Amino acid sequence: METRNGVLYFDGCDTVELAEKYGTPLYLVSESMIIRKCNELKECFLNRYSGTRAAYAGKAYLTMSMCKILEREGLCLDVVSGGELYTAIQAGFPAERIEFNGNNKLFEEIEMAVDYGVGRIIIDGTQELPMIESICEKKKKKISILIRINPGVESLTHAHMVTGNTDSKFGIPLEEDVIFPVIKAAIGSNYLNFMGFHFHIGSQIFDLEPYLLAVDAVLNLSKEVRERYGYSIEEINIGGGYAVQYVKEEENKTWDYYLEPVMKKIDTFFKQEGMNHPAVVIEPGRSLVADAGMTLYTVGSVKEIRNIRKYISVDGGMADNIRPALYGAKYDGVIANKADQPRVEKVSICGKCCESGDVLIRDLQTAEAEAGDILAVFKTGAYCYAMANNYNKSRTPAMVLLKDGSAQLIVKRQSYESLTCNEVIPFYPGK
Ligand code: LLP
């Protein structure tokens, strides 16, 4: 990101020109930035420790072009729905590098995963194992599985993003009569190749402590499994959740901050216990793509509520980025065509949905904003397009992939026709 002649450039591209060419709201994705992040991940984790994998969490952002980047970069992919699985397969992503998560996988989704031959299914619930087994038996296929545990740890993040606490719909509780029958059945199954355990404690987690507690839970369980059944697990998946700095006031955490101590703990444990070191897998979503995204909007109405606040309305909002409305998430931004002008006023950037909570940024310091200006909101690469919706029959924005000054359209703007194409007007006989 840089300013040239007063205009904001992103991955070598003039953002104001992009807004003119493709219209707004417009999602920008920097391929260079994603590749840089992949390289960082290789340096600090994948190439540093042997037997490691990264399965990017597609729920953060998934398009067919993203699948192509991941494939080239040698990453695996974590999917959580038939839709994500379909997207990956449509893009030609190798099925054996796909890992299937989800707390309520449907029968047909599991069938789809078995048919494609995904690399892992991560079992999340006691009823899932017999369901997978029966599908594999019918199709005469064997599939590798992990069991997702609920490590029962609290993590300090927004309540909606906590997933590893005891009162959670995710993971199997570590209770004797709940978890061990599942493990026993997995070990004894002719159709399942039981690889090990998985946990994911939440998202946008700034602390290391909950990871270490969850790792402890998995290590103790692995030891217990070896003692009870003489079975050594081959894989531990520690999920994602690594925090991103959206605004200056937030901390900037590196992958190293979490992964170095976690890997040390795992290494020490397996050495001490004289057990084979399992593969360690991570599932970063947000931390790989958030910085690579930017959203462009056109400023429309400007409303000054005297002595209270100035509202700057843009042509998108909670339909393309629901995170501020849903979690109180904070973003930073700039008027792209006035990027070098002094930020003289404090304004609130609001969307165009019929909802008072549709405020993208509260109290943003900007140059004087007028209708027609292009507003750039930073770090919108994760959970924005992925959570885009059609509220107020808003159309999903177009998306452009940028790389060193060149731009390619990778998602077309949704058409008005597509908003009604699945709707059917009922037929009333006799009218
Ligand atoms: N693995 C599993 C099993 C997950 O459930 C998630 C995210 C991840 C990996 C990736 O987590 P990340 O590295 O992106 O934090 N919509 C929320 C975030 C929900 C995350 C759900 N699970 C948001 O916009 O902040």
- Ligand 1 centroid to Cα of residue 125, in Å, is 19
Mutate-to-test residue for ligand 1 from 146, 170, 203, highest number of ligand atoms within 8 A of CB = 203
**pLDDT score of 228 more than 90:** yes
The pLDDT of 19-24, averaged and rounded, is 98
- Ligand 1 centroid to Cα of residue 319, in Å, is 19
Tens of pLDDT, residue by residue over 98-108, are 999 999 999 99
- Ligand 1 centroid to Cα of residue 206, in Å, is 14
- Ligand 1 centroid to Cα of residue 136, in Å, is 29
Which atom of ligand 1 has the smallest separation from the CA of 322? 24
From residue 52, give the alpha-carbon distance in Å to each of 47, 96, 156: 8, 16, 27
The amino acid occupying position 238 is I
**pLDDT score of 300 more than 80:** yes
Show the tokens assigned to 96: 């054996």
The pLDDT of 349-375, averaged and rounded, is 97
350 is catalytic: no
CA–CA dist 243, 67 (Å, integer): 23
**pLDDT score of 155 more than 90:** no
Q: Which of 194-198, 307-311, 403-407 has the lowest mean pLDDT?
A: 307-311
* Residue 147: band (very low, low, confident or very high) from pLDDT cuts 50, 70, 90: very high
The percent of residues in the chain predicted with pLDDT above 70, rounded, is: 98
**pLDDT score of 62 more than 70:** yes
Contact 391, 1 (CB under 8 A): no
**pLDDT score of 162 more than 80:** no
* Residues sharing a CB contact under 8 Å with residue 17, sequence separation 6 or more, in sequence order: none
Count Cβ neighbours within 10 Å for each residue of 315-336 and write b for 16 or more, e otherwise: bbbbbbbbbbbebebbbebbbb
Tens of pLDDT, residue by residue over 239-294, are 999 999 999 999 999 999 999 999 999 999 999 999 999 999 999 999 999 999 99
> Which residues form the pocket of ligand 1, taking CB atoms under 6 Å from any ligand atom?
57, 59-60, 78, 101, 161, 163, 200, 203-204, 239-242, 283-287, 323, 327, 383
The pLDDT of 39-58, averaged and rounded, is 98
* Residues sharing a CB contact under 8 Å with residue 239, sequence separation 6 or more, in sequence order: 198, 199, 200, 201, 282, 283
CA–CA dist 80, 95 (Å, integer): 14
**pLDDT score of 156 more than 70:** no
**pLDDT score of 164 more than 80:** no
Mutate-to-test residue for ligand 1 from 37, 41, 59, 84, highest number of ligand atoms within 8 A of CB = 59
* Residue 186: band (very low, low, confident or very high) from pLDDT cuts 50, 70, 90: very high
Task: Please measure the distance between the N-terminal and C-terminal CA atoms of the chain and give it in whole angstroms.
Answer: 60
Mutate-to-test residue for ligand 1 from 258, 283, 331, 379, highest number of ligand atoms within 8 A of CB = 283
* Residue 348: band (very low, low, confident or very high) from pLDDT cuts 50, 70, 90: very high
